[in-house]
Amino acid sequence: MAVVTASSVGLSPQQLREQLKAGRLREIFPGVYWSGPKQPLFRTRCQAALLWAGPDAVLSGTSAAILHNLDGEWSTQVISLTLPPGQFGEHPEVKVHRTQLVPAAMTQVEGMRCTTVERTVVDLAATTDEENLAIAFESAWRRDPLFTETMRGWLPLREGARGTGRLQAALKDTDRRRRPLRSALEVKLWRFLREHRFPVPEPDYTVFDNQGAMVIDFAYPRRGLALEADGYTAHGGRKEVFDHDARRRSRLAALGYVHLSVTHDQLKNGRAELKLRLRTAFKRHPASRARPLYEEVVDPRVDPDE
């Protein structure tokens, strides 16, 4: 079902009143209607907001983040729009930001006018918290290896603007790594380690045995610690995933690594306990010689004494 205006479907004022009274149309925004049987979903409301606000309106901020599929916690209750200064646009379900966007800052997503990923992240820097921004930033970087360099080009243009400090902090954090973190949970764990001043780990550290390669989320090779962000959706209760993870932990153990799992719940509700557990692990596993990237795993079918 599409959103419509009375003029777009050729309804007279009287016909419009009849359609609304009969429940065949429902007003979403002033002058914009929906003919679906249920409440319109987020993308439909975005289309309606653009029709209501006019041809210069652009979806931005959290709404653009959702359309670009950027990781983060974004509300769908309010539609975020950018309008040129002085143009009308007030509605309780719409948050309006007024500025004149250059064409390079706009794109089309699912047929809707929207800020680009880069401009969206710039807007988020002024409106969301640092962790949510970091999660969105890493998500954009995973999609585009040149994203960080593009964002460095934005900084001189944003000097003194709200959120510039957060963008600078996000870029500075990327200098510690050669590649983006792979999930929102990894971002939260990385920030937890940095916040509590744990030693800087090796992200996405690859080790090998005679069965192949394994990538450790955050490795401390000199301590023999493998720290992994364990999201529930990655497991899903499937037996084959459970068996794969069990074999993987055994392979890491054979290479001399102690495997430590960190979950969403631990980072949300058990931070003090997690901090203590990691402190204990670091104390019991002091830095020593570097472990090689490859070690031969002995075939259990072969007796080493023969």
Of the pLDDT bands very low, low, confident and very high (cuts 50, 70, 90), residue 208 is very high
Q: Are 229 and 189 in contact (CB under 8 A)?
A: yes
Q: What pLDDT does 297 receive?
A: 47
Q: Label residue 300 by pLDDT band (50, 70, 90).
A: very low
Which residues lie below 8 Å from residue 59, measured CB to CB, with a gap of 6+?
A: 46, 49, 50, 67, 79, 80, 81, 82, 109, 112, 113, 114, 115
Q: Residue 218: name the closest of 208, 207, 229 by CA.
A: 229
Which tokens go with 275?
Answer: 């901090």
- Residue 84 has a pLDDT of 92
For residue 236, the model assigns a pLDDT of 53
Rounded to an integer, what distance in angstroms lies between the CA atom of residue 230 and that of residue 66?
24
Q: How many CB atoms lie within 10 A of CB 20?
A: 15
Place of tokens 């599929």: 69
CA dist 272 and 279 (Å) reads 11
Residue 294's pLDDT band (boundaries 50, 70, 90)? low
> How many residues appear in the chain?
306
Average pLDDT over residues 244-263: 92
* C-alpha pair distances (Å), 136 with each of 56, 141, 245: 26, 9, 28
Q: Which two tokens stand for residue 93?
A: 């379900």
State the average pLDDT over residues 151-169: 86
Among residues of the chain, what percentage have pLDDT more than 70? 92
CA–CA separation, 152 vs 141, rounded Å? 13
> Which residues lie below 8 Å from residue 51, measured CB to CB, with a gap of 6+?
3, 5, 29, 31, 32
Considering the entire predicted model, what is its pTM?
0.85
| pLDDT above 60: residue 274 | yes
Q: Binning pLDDT at 50, 70 and 90, where does residue 178 land?
A: confident
Predicted pLDDT at 95: 94
State the alpha helices, DSSP H only, in 23-157.
Answer: 42-53, 61-67, 117-127, 130-143, 147-154
Residue 162: pLDDT band with limits 50, 70, 90: confident
CA-closest candidate to residue 120, choices 175, 176, 163: 163
Cβ-in-10-Å burial (0-12, 13-18, 19+) of 138 comes to buried
Residue pLDDT, tens place only, 67-88? 999 999 999 999 999 999 887 7
Residues 240 and 180: their CA atoms lie apart, in Å, by 28
Check: CB of residue 71 under 8 Å from CB of residue 184: yes
